[in-house]
Amino acid sequence: MRSYKVVEVKQKALTRTHRFNGRKMQSILNRHAEEGWLFDKAVSGETLFLDRSTCMLIFYQDH
């Protein structure tokens, strides 16, 4: 059996260039790896609400 976990990371757009903070993403990935979660994929997109970029990090664990 496999369990999944989705972590939503939002980045407020201050300019037209939307960039996520690499250190923040690295910290999130490492924290979940320490808890036994394996990184599967990232899905990104933009929302019109407050002009934010959003990235969904998908992790899994096999039981």
Per-residue pLDDT of the chain (63 residues; tens, 9 = 90+): 999 999 998 776 555 555 667 888 899 999 999 999 999 999 987 666 655 678 899 999 999
The pTM score is: 0.77
User: Could you give phi then psi for residue 49, rounded to 5 degrees?
Assistant: -70, 115
Residue 16, pLDDT score: 56
How far apart CA 9 and CA 56 sit, in angstroms, is 6
